[in-house]
Amino acid sequence: MVGWRVWTAIACLAVGCGSGSGADRPNGRPDAATDGGSDGGSGGPSDGGVLGEIGPLGETSWTPLLDDSLSRFYRWMPSRGRDNDPEGIFAMDGGTLHVLGIPATDEEQDFGYVATWDEFHDYRLRLEQKWGTATFPPRQNQPRDSGLLYHLHAPDQIWPRCVEFQIMEHNTGDTWMLSGTGLTATVADVHASPPRFDPLGQEVALRGGQLIKSSETESLTGWNAIELIASGRDSVNIVNGTRVNAATDLETDDGDGWSSLRQGRIALQAEGAEVFYRNIAVRAISAFPAGVGN
């Protein structure tokens, strides 16, 4: 059956089945810088049970990730390393994470991210996102760009080894495979570059590069509801209630060959555009949840 694995994963999401473009950025992501000083250590606080336990009926509760001190996250920028952010590139304001809410400048701004100290696996992540108005060199006056990174692994760099849920004007919901990651998906045309996700398309294995979303559902002016479901080696991207991308068989190459990719840190990018994030929460899952997405 054509594309049976990705289609089965999406069908499970709907009915709640069992558990379960430049060349200078790694693997085709444009505008990359070099490592700029990585730190492979874990560091930082961890409460061990960040998601709590899954109950006997599979029940869990949502765990908020934002607080006024960003205590669950570290900031990272290539020119400064970890938690050295005197300008307030990543700032909390009334429960909202404000990225690049700084005065206008012609100086180039580091690309960077805030990343969780903890690693996560088998979870459902939700957040709300809205664009600000400011853009900064080297992406001044270009489409506003950010991103949700997941299954992120050391070392910190631009961009780290992870999968990206793209958050970008007209591209929110695309998937990027960064710095040695891959996946399997069903696509509309296996010869297209980059391919576009189609739940009824032909199955193809991809390593590096972009997987375009199936439809455009984001707002450019209001708040967007973003949801990522990561279960085992499967993932689903949901934008404003609509499934726009999905993958199975997530994998990574850590330098010793390709292996399964099931967990890692979660991060949000600063990529030259002002952006707001709020109501970031995560919950453990033992199966794809029922009734999520259209």
Domains and CATH numbers, the chain: 4-40+62-284 (2.60.120.560)
Q: Which pLDDT does position 71 carry in this prediction? A: 98
Kindly give, in sequence order, each residue whose CB lies less than 8 Å from that of residue 140, ignoring residues fewer than 6 positions away: 272
In the numeric block, the tokens 């991207």 are attached to 237
285 has pLDDT over 50? yes
The end-to-end CA distance of the chain, in Å, is 23
Q: Which pLDDT does position 288 carry in this prediction? A: 73
5, 10, 47, 294 from 291: Cα distances, Å = 19, 11, 31, 8
Tokens representing 43 are: 């560091």
Query: Using one digit for the tens of pLDDT, what is the confidence trace for 219-270?
Result: 999 999 999 999 999 999 999 999 999 999 999 999 999 999 999 999 999 9
Confidence of residue 147 (pLDDT cuts 50, 70, 90): very high
68 has pLDDT over 60? yes
Q: Which pLDDT does position 123 carry in this prediction? A: 96
Is residue 178 within 8 Å of 165, Cβ to Cβ?
no
**d(C-alpha 147, C-alpha 75), whole Å:** 15
Query: Using one digit for the tens of pLDDT, what is the confidence trace for 175-192?
Result: 999 999 999 999 999 999
Kindly give, in sequence order, each residue whose CB lies less than 8 Å from that of residue 13, ignoring residues fewer than 6 positions away: 229, 236, 243, 246, 288, 289, 292, 293
Q: Which pLDDT does position 32 carry in this prediction? A: 39
Say if residue 78 is preceded by a cis peptide, omega within 30 of 0. Answer: no
In the numeric block, the tokens 């739940």 are attached to 199
131 has pLDDT over 90? yes
DSSP category for residue 107: S
Which of 30-34, 37-41, 149-153, 162-166 is predicted with the least confidence, judged by mean pLDDT?
30-34
Tokens representing 187 are: 């696509």
Share of the chain above pLDDT 90, in %: 76
Is residue 228 within 8 Å of 165, Cβ to Cβ?
yes
289 has pLDDT over 90? no
**d(C-alpha 122, C-alpha 218), whole Å:** 25
Share of the chain above pLDDT 70, in %: 80
In the numeric block, the tokens 């690309």 are attached to 111
55 has pLDDT over 80? no
